[in-house]
């Protein structure tokens, strides 16, 4: 396989017919950076219909082109139609890379069409690096239970397919290109051949306290926290108008649910204010935090977390928390 025959980077635009999934916009912005480095064009792939106002958001990310796909089989997500769609399009246009949001749907069909194309697919990447010497994308993702970060490449095969964890990159539109190529494709998949049947839909119960990805203030507790001290950190978070979060050891101790775990193996967060209590500062955790102000509290003055924070407090975490609560209640 001659890699020179494969050009341009694609982003799958996941949507519900009304709104674009945030991860698609995040990926467009990050892929724009990669294309600037590689010289490739950035192409968005949209299946089905989407309001013009949402398409404008995509174009504002600096894309070079859009492939609009019409046809049967896209009214509601299904594995067969979307796997067939990307198999057909990739064989026709030979993209160098295809980035798919690591959602339930994205993780479902991305490895399937990659297998049909006999290429590789990396999963749940949290960083993308373009290597100008090899022209490969280096997909960085947590491995060994989040204890290490693995760098995975697809050095021989094309296209390079990867799913990327939502919230990994910032949605920072760079502006619309003066000219955007628009391609219209009709790729239908017979509805009669869709093996999955839609029986009904029941919305998942939503607890706003578990939605920390978009919270502006986070109070995060780590392995140094005593079990009986958890209520005071909840109180501090409430006084600050924020939410509580944690590291993996707290989840392992079953004190807080997995949805509140921050880091490469949990939730990626971008708060305006982050306060970490009793957290050592493992790479897997701190690389999952992109905070406007990062405050760390730890009794060990040599804790690695002090290398990442804006403000560090050396002291007993419970005593510091108590004082913060006292000051806020004045």
* Residue pLDDT, tens place only, 52-100: 999 999 999 999 999 999 998 888 888 999 999 999 999 999 999 999 9
Q: 159 — phi, psi (to 5°)? A: -75, 160
Tell me, yes or no, if the two domains 3-193 and 208-328 fold the same way.
yes
Instruction: Give pTM, 2 decimals.
Output: 0.77
Residue range 138-195, pLDDT digits in tens: 999 877 666 677 899 999 999 999 999 888 888 999 999 999 999 999 999 888 888 8
Contact 159, 184 (CB under 8 A): no
Top CATH class of 208-328 equals alpha beta
Residue ranges of domains in the chain: 3-193, 208-328
HSE of 131, CA atoms in CB hemisphere, 13 A:
13
Query: How do the residues of the chain divide into helix, strand and coil, expressed in percent and rounded to 5?
Result: 30, 25, 45
The domain 3-193 is placed in CATH, from the list 3.40.630.30, 3.40.50.620, 3.30.70.260, 3.40.50.300, at: 3.40.50.620
Residue range 6-16, pLDDT digits in tens: 999 999 999 99
Give how far the C-alpha of residue 172 lies from the chain's centroid of Cα atoms, to the nearest Å: 14
* Residue 197 pLDDT greater than 90, yes or no: no
Question: Which residues neighbour 62 within 8 Å (Cβ) at sequence distance 6 or greater?
Answer: 28, 29, 32, 42, 173, 174, 175, 176, 177
């Amino acid at each position: 396989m001659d890699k020179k025959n494969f050009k341009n980077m694609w982003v799958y635009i996941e949507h519900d017919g009304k709104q674009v999934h945030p991860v698609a916009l995040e990926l467009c912005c990050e892929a724009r950076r990669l294309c600037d480095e590689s010289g490739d064009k950035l192409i968005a792939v949209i299946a089905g219909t989407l309001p013009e106002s949402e398409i404008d958001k995509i174009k504002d990310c600096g894309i070079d082109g859009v492939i609009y796909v019409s046809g049967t089989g896209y009214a509601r997500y299904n594995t067969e139609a979307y796997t067939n769609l990307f198999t057909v399009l990739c064989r026709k246009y030979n993209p160098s890379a295809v980035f798919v949001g690591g959602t339930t749907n994205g993780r479902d069909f991305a490895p399937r069409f990659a297998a049909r194309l006999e290429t590789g697919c990396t999963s749940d990447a949290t960083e993308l690096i373009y290597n100008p010497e090899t022209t490969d994308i280096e997909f960085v993702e947590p491995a060994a239970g989040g204890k290490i970060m693995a760098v995975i490449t697809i050095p021989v095969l094309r296209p390079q397919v990867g799913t990327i964890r939502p919230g990994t990159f910032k949605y920072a539109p760079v502006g619309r290109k003066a000219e955007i190529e628009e391609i219209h494709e009709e790729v239908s998949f017979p509805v009669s051949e869709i093996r999955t049947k839609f029986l009904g839909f029941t919305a998942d119960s939503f607890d706003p306290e578990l939605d920390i990805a978009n919270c502006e203030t986070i109070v995060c507790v780590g392995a140094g926290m005593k079990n009986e001290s958890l209520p005071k950190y909840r109180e501090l978070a409430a006084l600050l108008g924020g939410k509580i979060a944690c590291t993996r050891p707290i989840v392992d101790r079953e004190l807080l649910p997995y949805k509140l775990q921050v880091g490469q193996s949990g939730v990626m967060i971008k708060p305006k204010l982050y306060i970490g209590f009793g957290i050592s500062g493992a790479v897997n955790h701190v690389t999952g935090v992109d905070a406007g102000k990062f405050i760390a509290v730890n009794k060990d003055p040599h804790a690695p977390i002090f290398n990442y924070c804006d403000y560090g407090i050396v002291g007993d975490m419970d005593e510091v928390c108590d004082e913060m609560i006292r000051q806020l209640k004045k």
